[in-house]
Structure 1
């Protein structure tokens, strides 16, 4: 099973829309996925989960999405030239031994032209430190506002092609 993480807790985000599209493309290829939106994190994650005060809600997230995952796809928006702080808090709340050696693919999302390249580089450094194996093909999704229709579906054929190539690369990785 591959867990796809929408790396923001912003409600109804474009990142979540891209993550949903990615999950659908993977499932069309027969891949078992679970989609985790950081919207479901406990509101006190920064004050409890980081200090070994594990809540049953967070443990349920670990049990359903993190521990059983063989691989991860992290789809992260660009916030202030990097990735969201909530994603870093989420990573910090998980004991490093749980995911040591697992593979991860990164997709950056932005309304601008860079597709969160800098944020993916920052995240790569953290993930390497935690002994993840990061797919070298990091996919920037730029100008996301022009790529989605009113229902959140990707309408751009070139973007769909890039996502499918990213999936193919990750499945071989």
Structure 2
């Protein structure tokens, strides 16, 4: 089982990436092969709706191929102005239902404020459903993310830490169940 993780932040000290890594580690613990697509290391150009996708650089072709071969996803985003980050929205503009249809997605969002990132999670859920993916019903928001982490990368709030770990486990279990159901058809 292959899971592609995307942390929609280019900040070197990204709390979104830290949160996504907790979900990734849990998914790996339950048997998934998980890869992080890092936009700092593999930047994508601005999507411009070209009529010929083959004219985009290799980074776009690699990203689309990784999306297509994945069995499931972990999408994470910081909440910027009440919505998802520009880098994540740009990346998702490069793909369509072909890459996401019928696949499961775990959603994580971080926010600087106490209210968390509910708007970002709702927006990500809408995007996933529009592209025919199945966002897991349990989504995790990390409020006050700038002060939420211990030096070792774990969360100070053990309940949120556990929710992120449970999200990784749930993603693996749901992909396994979905795979068994599809094989029956």
TM over 0.5: yes
On the 8 A contact 2:4/2:70 being kept in 1, the answer is yes
Q: What is the aligned-residue RMSD (CA, Å)?
A: 2.0
On the 8 A contact 1:14/1:152 being kept in 2, the answer is no
Q: How many residues align?
A: 170
TM-score in terms of structure 1 length: 0.86
Q: After TM superposition, give the deviation of residue 150 of structure 1 in Å.
A: 3.0
Deviates most, 3-12 or 151-160 = 151-160
Give the whole-Å Cα distance in 2 for the aligned partners of 1:111 and 1:84: 13
1:145-164 mapped onto 2 (5 Å cutoff): 145-164=146-165
Q: Is residue 58 of structure 1 aligned with residue 50 of structure 2? A: no
On the 8 A contact 1:73/1:106 being kept in 2, the answer is yes
Deviates most, 149-158 or 119-128 = 149-158
1:18-167 mapped onto 2 (5 Å cutoff): 18-42=19-43, 44-47=45-48, 50-51=49-50, 52=53, 53-63=55-65, 65-167=66-168
Q: After TM superposition, give the deviation of residue 123 of structure 1 in Å.
A: 1.8
Structure 2: unaligned runs, 5 residues or longer:
175-185
Question: Which whole-Å deviations, capped at 9, do the CAs of 1:48-100 have from their partners, x for residues lacking one?
Answer: xx32232112212333x312110011111100011112211111112432222
TM-score in terms of structure 2 length: 0.81
Structure 1: unaligned runs, 5 residues or longer:
none
On the 8 A contact 2:105/2:133 being kept in 1, the answer is yes
Question: Which whole-Å deviations, capped at 9, do the CAs of 1:119-161 have from their partners, x for residues lacking one?
Answer: 1111211221111111111111112233212353434322221
CA 1:60–1:141: 2 relative to 1, 3 Å: same
CA 1:160–1:83: 2 relative to 1, 3 Å: same
Partner of 2:180: none
Give the whole-Å Cα distance in 2 for the aligned partners of 1:162 and 1:120: 15
- Aligned residue for 1:161, secondary structure, equals helix
**Regions of 4+ moved over 4 Å:** none
